């Protein structure tokens, strides 16, 4: 399969023409793939460790937390900003996805980032591009089932970023828990030799998980979206009380969410956190994952729980 259809490149071209060339004296901005590879090669030559934080931009405090963690662990930090068309399906928000490179650069600079890598789509996917990376099984459920092809786009672009930047460590947010599991599987299966660090979810004071898509929410939808963290809190309470049946916990989560009129459930699933496969009982490291729509905005949230057999019983 190739992605050099006329419609695809016309869309890409229109987006790229709107990009403005920015100069940031406080931090290096690289848009060329070859320049990025040359910079990374020089850093490795002098013995510097490189940390990579892959993003699609429109940065928030969650991203800044990733950058700070990278800065603590690596001598050089690269933040990639690339709205990846391959991970958006038909009718999704590729064109509308918020973009502001100047704002993002100022935020990244405040976190001590050394380089922003912001390539053009035509440079990441030249005409005739036809190579893809796909991780099976781990991507079959949750967002993989709801958004066919999404994770193939994610793993393809992340593998390209890994090849371009050649980081020692890459940092990802736990909010995208399935993505994190898939990236770890890819790195292990393909012997990439990169350490993958997952960083806990960053939330607003009222519990809403930070997301670039939160800007889409109306004030009423923003208030309604609190039901996500509230439902996960309910699940945590049930587990603490000894409930171990996944379906019982799942149904209680659904009750909490369905009590909110503006919420439209995409999925509520409980899976093991490594292979993202459904479980009947909570045991080991389990992931409670949600995807819910508020108007046109689809939000995800999750809770990871480590449960031993002695921690739960039949209610």
Domains and CATH numbers, the chain: 6-199 (3.40.50.620), 212-308 (3.30.1300.10)
Sheet containing strand 297-307, edge to edge, reads 263-272, 284-294, 297-307
pLDDT at 18: 44
Apex CA 116: angle with CA 110 and CA 121, to 5°? 145
pLDDT at 311: 64
Per-position pLDDT tens, the chain of length 315 = 444 434 444 444 444 444 444 555 568 999 999 999 999 999 999 999 999 999 999 999 999 999 999 999 999 999 999 999 999 999 899 999 999 999 999 999 999 999 999 999 999 999 999 999 999 999 999 999 989 999 999 999 999 999 999 999 999 999 999 999 999 999 999 999 999 999 999 999 999 999 999 999 999 999 999 999 999 999 999 999 999 999 999 999 999 999 999 999 999 999 999 999 999 999 999 999 999 999 999 999 999 999 987 665 443
CB 35 within 8 A of CB 153: no
Centre a 10 Å sphere on the Cβ of residue 6 and count the other Cβ atoms it contains: 7
Residues whose CB is less than 8 angstroms from the CB of residue 133 and which lie 6 or more positions away in sequence, other chains included: 152, 155, 156, 159, 186, 190
Question: For 147-186, b where at least 16 C-beta lie within 10 A, e where not — what string?
Answer: bebbbbbbbbbbbbbbebbbbbbbbbbbbbbbbbbbbbbb
pLDDT at 309: 72
Q: How far apart are CA 22 and CA 19, in angstroms?
A: 9
Task: Please state whether 195 falls in left (phi above 0), alpha (psi between -120 and 50) or beta.
Answer: beta
Residues whose CB is less than 8 angstroms from the CB of residue 232 and which lie 6 or more positions away in sequence, other chains included: 253, 288, 290, 301, 302, 303
Q: What are the backbone dihedrals phi and psi of residue 86, each rounded to the nearest 5 degrees, phi first?
A: -65, -20
- Global pTM reads 0.90
pLDDT at 308: 82
**What are the catalytic residues?**
63
Q: E strand or H helix at 210, and its extent?
A: none
Centre a 10 Å sphere on the Cβ of residue 203 and count the other Cβ atoms it contains: 15
pLDDT at 15: 45
Tell me which residue of 172, 229, 216, 212 sits closest to 60, measured CA to CA: 212
pLDDT at 111: 95
């Amino acid at each position: 399969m190739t992605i050099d259809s006329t419609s695809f490149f016309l869309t890409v071209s229109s987006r790229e023409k709107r990009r403005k060339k920015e100069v940031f004296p406080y931090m290096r901005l690289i848009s060329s793939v070859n320049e990025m590879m040359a910079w990374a090669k020089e850093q490795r030559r002098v013995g510097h460790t490189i940390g990579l934080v892959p993003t699609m931009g429109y940065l928030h405090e969650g991203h800044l937390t990733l950058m700070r963690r990278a800065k603590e662990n690596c001598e050089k930090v690269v933040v990639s900003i690339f709205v990846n068309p391959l991970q958006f399906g038909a009718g999704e928000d590729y064109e509308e996805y918020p973009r502001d490179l100047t704002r993002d650069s100022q935020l990244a600079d405040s976190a001590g980032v050394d380089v922003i890598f912001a390539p053009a789509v035509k440079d990441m996917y030249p005409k005739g591009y036809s190579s893809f990376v796909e991780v099976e099984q781990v991507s079959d459920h949750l967002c993989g089932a709801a958004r066919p092809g999404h994770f193939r786009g994610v793993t393809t672009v992340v593998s390209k970023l890994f090849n371009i930047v050649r980081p020692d460590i890459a940092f990802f947010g736990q909010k995208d828990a399935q993505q994190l599991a898939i990236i770890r599987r890819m790195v292990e299966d393909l012997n990439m030799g990169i350490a993958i660090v997952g960083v806990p979810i960053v939330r607003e004071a009222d519990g809403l998980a930070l997301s670039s898509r939160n800007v889409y929410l109306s004030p009423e939808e923003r208030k309604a979206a609190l039901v996500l963290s509230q439902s996960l809190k309910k699940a945590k309470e049930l587990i603490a009380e000894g409930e171990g049946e996944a379906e019982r916990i799942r149904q209680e989560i659904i009750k909490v969410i369905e009590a909110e009129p503006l919420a439209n459930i995409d999925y509520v699933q409980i899976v093991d956190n490594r292979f993202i496969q459904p479980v009947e009982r909570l045991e080991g490291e389990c992931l409670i994952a949600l995807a819910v729509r508020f108007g046109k905005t689809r939000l995800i949230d999750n809770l990871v729980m480590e449960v031993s057999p002695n921690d739960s019983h039949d209610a």
